[in-house]
Structure 1
């Protein structure tokens, strides 16, 4: 058993069924506000229209480029859709010099355009006119399939002069300034939409795209008539519209305060965007390690953990990586091979078994709350669509690498869903890249 002080510290993370049901209720209300035209401006879950109305059929053909920009590196892909439900993919990753994350707009887009040019020349594509799908994983308000206005930078980016601008135009201009290749950006989408599209290419029942990685967000298929911020919502011949929820901001208006802890409030204060992305800060990989670190430090101050030991490392903000939660929780009960490694990396000798039990208990509390809140979000979307069978395409490091996350999500969703609703959670391979190419292919063909 963990120490009583540890049990007391993690109490706030152990959400019961009643609290989870309340999260679903509150999220449902917030989403309705985001979808409705008159309440959208003050809604925290924005439910942005993606302008993607066609799900893939598997019969898509042709060559498309995709650019996937979501964090500290980006990928360029050449996707050849074969018309028989298969696709061939060549890709290359490029690492950003970190100075670009806070440099000028021209530097950022010129660097991306140069990398695109290099990729095309390496693959002998410089004379082909190719459509490009641009996955841009930052909150964007779309005014069309290829018009995306940046609402706010997240994930450590802060490039002045881009917020409020159409990022497609900025990149297209950079490509044309260089004049090396003939590329037209036909679609912009975020990584959740790419994940949904890529999964739906193989699985016709996929209706939700979810990311649980550095950040978290989801998109889902809504009836077009409910997407009031789409100017043709009443007259569109197409029944469906993918909605990019931007659910990371859920709770920015205080409605999630009943599930937040004192540790969440400390983490929020030291982030570049205090008071923003409340839901995301309770769930995603960028923050889970820091929450664990704060609890451990408090337990050390009370003489409950690592008694008589000191470590400079644990005192440093953000030093406890979220990957450590996966390590600690992958040890079988009573074994500590990975836990010992984590404890040593944090600068402790760690000979005391009680410390290892306490650390595991803290990690489990933080990651199970993440999975519970994520399950609440998915259940909200499934209830909203009112369907009895659904596939959820998922990507992101937390879902991929945490040893228990898939099982926890499944378990908590079953507790909350109406009886008889069937769901399948599946990891999306080449998620946002292949998805961007599929959106580009459909956009280019419908032109």
Structure 2
């Protein structure tokens, strides 16, 4: 493990020329924007601990590999921070699936319901209709009864609009929170993450809670066949289009990953034949202190002010939910020390949440980024100079680049695991990917791809964007369950 001082020295030696066309690296620590001749050396001391060399990234990759193995082991799982939860999804789609399914997707401020028809029609094998329902703040922080009554009410409304209230269709449920599963249609919530803090649900089976809410209404029936995490849903969605897909990643409000692991390595599940999708819950990487040398004072401040201090530390460093706030904290400290805005600090700049991740994305756009930066800072009551805007853009670049580097390192750990499992000299695989950071940030995807290819050179990795989100994947899991049931004349997979 690297010490803080070692890491700082290594972090200095990193080239971020590609990060923004407004930034040019001269040497290792001197940043100059040639268009206005502005020297950014003065802010480097705030940013050096966020810039990682490839040597540091390889080290993070190895740390994460160890965490994966701890999570898979019977004796080490209870104390492991990366929980490696079995999903009981044993196969990606093979193209022979068919049927009429409903899919629910709960994991953020919006709740999505889809009707998915899977056919053998080669021109349009999947037909989807969907509606989005809001999940109000009082429900996100309310009781379990309120939450599942809301889900059941939305499902009833959707079925009414689809004129299918008289049918009992199979339902796939994307539930984007850590759950312990012993079978496909059971999921006990381990802990809430992101902005959710609903009472009376942790330690409970969410399928039972939803079924209870549906039964209480009494105006329709639903057969909840599968509960999947959004990462599994993403992998299955992409797996329908590319059967090489065996990894799913979300980089949005939160971040997580899943992949297909050999059953013989999963101590918590009986059997040695075949594979099973593992939900890594990598957001908790570092909760045991294993990333302390990489966390900054700004990361610690984010954690202290969060709903779950000490938990999901990797997610707080890498996901979209916290990126804007990280930038704001850095700007406040720089302004207090007279390095920005001529030392001016406004009440808006001091207000938590005033810089959002979408602002970071806008500021990093290659052509209009500096103009957007000036608009955003002006709305915060700051009167920025051109030099201020260049400096703020630089801060945004370093923060978002760090996120892409961290995700590349942990994904690298999964890819090397897959390569070792297969015993091949060169890995060929597809990563299904979704999330607002990956989709909306102008530089993020390119940076992630390049870093992964450097960290895992003996691989051919295709990144496949999940166009229709993770909810379609829940329907795909259900469709695969039906296919496997037809093959075995039983709905049991084991």
TM-score, scaled relative to structure 1: 0.96
> Where does residue 156 of structure 1 map in the other structure?
195
1: distance between equivalents of 2:97 and 2:137?
37
> Where does residue 181 of structure 2 map in the other structure?
142
The 3 A distance-change label for structure 1 pair 177 and 444 is farther
CA shift digits 1:62-95 (9 cap, x unpaired):
1000000011110010000012462000000000
Runs of 4+ in structure 1 over 4 Å off: none
> Where does residue 215 of structure 2 map in the other structure?
176
Which deviates more from structure 2 when the two are superposed, residues 133-142 or residues 410-419?
Answer: 410-419
Give, in angstroms, the shift of residue 209 of structure 1.
Answer: 0.3
5 Å-filtered alignment, 1:60-209, equals: 60-84=97-121, 86-209=125-248
2: distance between equivalents of 1:360 and 1:142?
44
Helix, strand or coil at the partner of 2:210? helix
1:433 corresponds to 2:471 = yes
5 Å-filtered alignment, 1:37-436, equals: 37-84=74-121, 86-230=125-269, 232-234=270-272, 236=273, 239-307=274-342, 309-332=344-367, 336-350=370-384, 352-386=385-419, 388-419=427-458, 421-436=459-474
Q: 2:335 touches 2:343 (CA, 8 Å); kept in 1?
A: no
1:443 corresponds to 2:443 = no
Helix, strand or coil at the partner of 1:129? coil
Helix, strand or coil at the partner of 2:193? coil
1: distance between equivalents of 2:303 and 2:227?
30
Give, in angstroms, the shift of residue 406 of structure 1.
Answer: 0.7
2: distance between equivalents of 1:187 and 1:384?
27
Give, in angstroms, the shift of residue 431 of structure 1.
Answer: 2.3
2: distance between equivalents of 1:431 and 1:380?
24
Give, in angstroms, the shift of residue 308 of structure 1.
Answer: 5.3
Q: 1:216 touches 1:248 (CA, 8 Å); kept in 2?
A: yes
2: distance between equivalents of 1:19 and 1:233?
37
CA shift digits 1:264-322 (9 cap, x unpaired):
11111110111100110110011111111111011101111011544221100121101
Q: 1:64 touches 1:131 (CA, 8 Å); kept in 2?
A: yes
Structure 1 stretches lacking a partner, 5+ long: none
2: distance between equivalents of 1:121 and 1:318?
38
CA shift digits 1:238-263 (9 cap, x unpaired):
x1100000000000001111211111
Q: 1:131 touches 1:444 (CA, 8 Å); kept in 2?
A: no
1: distance between equivalents of 2:67 and 2:448?
22
Give, in angstroms, the shift of residue 97 of structure 1.
Answer: 2.0
> Where does residue 7 of structure 1 map in the other structure?
44
Q: 1:329 touches 1:364 (CA, 8 Å); kept in 2?
A: yes
Q: 2:238 touches 2:245 (CA, 8 Å); kept in 1?
A: yes
Helix, strand or coil at the partner of 1:406? helix
The higher relative CO (CA closer than 8 Å, separation ≥ 6) is in: 1
CA shift digits 1:319-368 (9 cap, x unpaired):
110111111110339x6222222222322222x11101110110011001
Q: 2:260 touches 2:276 (CA, 8 Å); kept in 1?
A: yes
Q: 2:170 touches 2:478 (CA, 8 Å); kept in 1?
A: yes
CA shift digits 1:9-30 (9 cap, x unpaired):
0010001111111101110011
2: distance between equivalents of 1:369 and 1:308?
27
2: distance between equivalents of 1:84 and 1:23?
45
Helix, strand or coil at the partner of 1:158? coil
Helix, strand or coil at the partner of 1:412? helix
Helix, strand or coil at the partner of 2:88? coil
2: distance between equivalents of 1:319 and 1:299?
17
Which deviates more from structure 2 when the two are superposed, residues 340-349 or residues 278-287?
Answer: 340-349
